[in-house]
Amino acid sequence: MTSSNEPIDTVNLVKKFLYTSSLLEHWIEVFGLEHTLKLLESLKQPYDSLWVQVNSSRIDFDSLREIFEEMEFETDKHPYLEDFLIVNTERKDFVVGEEEVPAVIVDIESTTQIALGKDVNTASIIGNDNFNPGDKVKVIDRAGSVIALGISQVASTEIPKLPQMTVVKTTDSRGFIPPLTELRVYRRGYFNILTPVQALGVKSLYLESRDNILVVSNDKGDVASYIAEKTDHKCPITVITSNELQLKAITRQLKRINTKAIRIVHSSLVSFLSELQEMKYSSIYFETQNSRTAVKPVFSSNLTLRRMQQMSKKQIKEVNLLYRCLHSNASISYVTHSIDYLENEVVYNNILDKAYYESQSFPEEVRFLQNKKILTARKEIPEQFEDISLEFKNTSLFLDPIETNNIGGFIGKFKFKKKDD
């Protein structure tokens, strides 16, 4: 959507932001150069807060807030979600010295948390230089960006044979995030931590007492836990996971919240949907693997345009199989952590093209926020969708990470259309 015909120096942009040229050229084409630069600068910065959902069946709202404040975490009531607290993060002046220091390389999954002050544990390390206990160490991501500095706790030669433990104690980073998941109250299941788009994705579900709920998400179980809380742990919830690490994380989460409402199915989503399901689902939270291009902070990416196109095709394939496990009039919330049209509006438009799906308005709580213009669809819809722009406006939401200073993403609301006899 850029209107400039002047040549753009993508080589220097690639060097500065460490994104692939194909992705940058794609963003410049659809967003324009000015917005792309704002976006890239924004994604380098830490998100401004954590959204903490209070499990009121285990602790009351004010008591949890007092616990956070006693630990000197800056905490506010959420401005428009009654069952959420806001715990603020801190941005820091992060300076990397020119001195030569050894490095550890960490995996993609760990990058954001380490960039916000979390220590480097054994499982996060995918490569390292030689160092001794007490040495200064720099932490870099897979593309070579320095995301934190710290002090080594062990010798590098010990790493391959160590159990899960802290290898580098972080001393300086892009920001600081309060270590909420390390608190006893979290281990007791008193609260869940969700991104804004996850929280609103759950809020967009039409949950009823007789629901049979399917959760497809790459999180650690907080989404399913929140849904269990909203349904008083009385509705059956099935969580699909194909990832071993996620399976372990969700299993731990179930122990924390002590619920019998959630069952885990260890399977690829396509395999699960391809099989004939004995149970049909009436409410679906659908957050498949996506590029996470709306997640802050992101300092680098190995993501290419081709890879994003492949993700989009996979998401469409999965949605096209979804009908096989649905009750008539089942309600679905499609959720991504992406800024890109390919994974958001393009996929959603494909959904609406199908004869067995139709768009659905959001529940009253979300509609109220839409009417107040607190939550809106994307402001500029691509020309190819102009004929259904009103449908997008009423049945989708877009959280811009630039405007929110938080993790962004997209929600599309639709239902399985009941067939005429």
pLDDT tens digits, one per residue of 287-300: 999 999 999 887 66
The one-letter amino acid at 140: I
- Packed helices 244-257 and 222-230: angle between N→C axes, nearest 10 degrees: 30
What is the pLDDT of the chain when averaged over all its residues?
A: 89
Does position 257 have pLDDT exceeding 80, yes or no?
yes
Does position 337 have pLDDT exceeding 90, yes or no?
yes
The CATH class that applies to domain 103-176 reads mainly beta
Give yes or no for a contact between 392 and 385, defined as CB atoms under 8 angstroms apart.
Answer: yes
pLDDT confidence tier of residue 419, bands split at 50, 70 and 90: low
Q: Is CATH 3.30.9.10 what the domain over 196-416 is classified as, yes or no?
A: no
Phi–psi pair at 90, nearest 5 degrees: -125, 130
Domain with CATH 2.30.130.10 in the chain: 103-176
pLDDT the model gives residue 7: 56
Pairing mode, strands 281-286 and 326-336? parallel
Domain with CATH 3.40.50.150 in the chain: 196-416
Does position 143 have pLDDT exceeding 50, yes or no?
yes
pLDDT confidence tier of residue 80, bands split at 50, 70 and 90: very high
Phi–psi pair at 290, nearest 5 degrees: -145, 175
pLDDT confidence tier of residue 3, bands split at 50, 70 and 90: very low
Weakest-pLDDT range from 29-43, 61-75, 384-398: 384-398
> pTM here?
0.88
Rounded to an integer, what distance in angstroms lies between the CA atom of residue 125 and that of residue 137? 13
pLDDT the model gives residue 5: 52
120, β-bridge pairs:
168
